[in-house]
Structure 1
Amino acid sequence: MTNLRLERVRTELGDCTRCPLHASRTHLVFGAGDPHAEIVLVGEAPGAREDERGVPFVGAAGNLLDRMLESIDLARSDIYIANVLKCRPPKNRDPRPAEIETCVPFLFEQIAAIGPRVVGTLGNFSSRLLLGTKEGITTLRLRTHDVRGLRVVPMYHPAAALHNGSLRG
C-alpha cells in the first residue's frame, strides 16, 4: 500500500542540492521500509555503504540491526528507517548545523507522513536532536519521551554496539 504523503515528501526532496553534501554523495538516502509503519527508527546520517547503495543501515551495523529486530519478531519490512541527514558527510564526520537545518524538515515530514506510534532514535545524535536536549544516550535510553505528540524511545546505535559488545543487552 502506498503512502501518498510520504511520496510527496520524497518528490519535494528530489535530487537535493540544498547543501554542499550533495557534491560528494553517490546516492541520496531517503529512507526505507513500511510507509505505514508503527515504528520509525532514526539514525544520524548515511555511511559509506549506505551512500553506495542508497539504503539506510546496510553493512555490519545494518546486519546487527536486522538481528535485533528479529529478536523481537520484527523485520525491516515491518518498520521504517530514516536518518537525520539524507547525504553522507565526508569521512563520516558529525553533521554540521546548516546541514541539519536543511535536512531535518524532511525528516519531520517523513515521520508525520508515516504517523508511527513510536520513534526509536539510534544513538546520541538523533536522540539529542529529536528530544531537544544535550543529555547523552546513556541517560536517555530505554525511557519513553513524549515530544510533539510522538513517543520517542532513545536506543544505542547498532554501530556503537559493534564496537562495545556490552551495549548489546
Structure 2
Amino acid sequence: MSDFCASLWPEEPTPENLRNCSECGLDKHGSRMVWGEGNPEAPIMILLDNPGAREDRENKPFVCGTRQTLQQATHEVGLHVDELYVTYILKRKPTRAYNKEETREICMRHLIQQLHSKQPQYIVCLGNIAVQSFFQNPETDVKTLRGKVHHVRGYQTFVAYHPLAVRRRPNLWPLFLEDLKLVATYFNK
C-alpha cells in the first residue's frame, strides 16, 4: 500500500426520528448512531457491517483503519469522495455480545429506508456480514461473489473484502483494488 493521507469524510446526521432508536438493543451498548458518511446524494453506496471507532479516548474524531484503507483504495482506483456514500447494516458499533441475526434483521429496515430515499446507482458490499445481510443469504461469502456484478434488490451490486481483512492480510490488497476498479469502470462508462 502506498503512502496516503486519510481524512474525515462528512457525516450525515441521523434522521431526528431515529436518533434514539432502541428496537435492536444496540442503544444499550453506549455507542452513538452513525447514519452514514460521504456524499448522501452519491451514486455509489458502500455498505459495511457497522461503524468503527469514530473518536479516540479523548473524544477527538479520527480516521479508523477501516476508513483509512477504504479511502486509500478508492483514491487509487480513481473514485472521488463526492461519488461515494458509506453506510452500515448496524447503525451503532456493538461493544459486547448481542443477538446478531435478530439485530441485523431489525437494522436492515434502516438500510432499506436509505435505499428508497437515496436511490444509488451502485451498491458495494464490503465483507461477509454486509454481503450476507444485503443478499439475504447467510451461506454466501465474498470469496465466491467478488469479481462480477450482481443484481440484488434492484441494484447493480459489487462485492469486495472488508477493509479490516485487507489490513490484516496484505495479500488481499490487489484483490481489493481489482474489485474497486470494477466499480470505477462501471461508474465511468
TM range, normalised to the smaller chain? 0.7 to 0.9
Q: Equivalent pairs: percent with the same residue?
A: 25
Residue of 56, 72, 95 corresponding to 2:77:
72
* 3-state secondary structure, aligned to 1:151: strand
| Contact 1:84 1:104 survives alignment (8 Å) | yes
Structure 1: runs of 5+ lacking an equivalent:
1-5
* 3-state secondary structure, aligned to 1:138: helix
Aligned length: 159
* 3-state secondary structure, aligned to 1:41: strand
Residue of 104, 107, 111 corresponding to 1:103:
107
- Identify which range, 120-129 or 141-150, moves more after superposition: 141-150
Aligned AA (1:149): G
Larger % of helix: which?
1
Is 1:28–2:33 an aligned residue pair?
Answer: yes
Measure how far apart 1:23 and its partner are: 1.2
Aligned AA (1:135): T
Measure how far apart 1:94 and its partner are: 7.6
Taking structure 1 as reference, are residues 104 and 58 closer, same or farther at Cα in structure 2, changes over 3 Å only? farther
Counterpart for residue 5 of structure 2? none
CA offsets 1:138-169 (integer angstroms, 9 cap, x no match): 00112111112111111111000000011111
2-side partners of 1:129 and 1:104: how far apart? 8
2-side partners of 1:137 and 1:88: how far apart? 22
2-side partners of 1:106 and 1:117: how far apart? 18
* TM-score normalised by length of structure 2: 0.75
* TM-score normalised by length of structure 1: 0.83
RMSD: 2.4
Counterpart for residue 151 of structure 1? 156
Structure 2: runs of 5+ lacking an equivalent:
1-11, 175-189
CA offsets 1:85-111 (integer angstroms, 9 cap, x no match): 0111124x6861221122111111112
Larger Rg: 2
2-side partners of 1:96 and 1:31: how far apart? 20
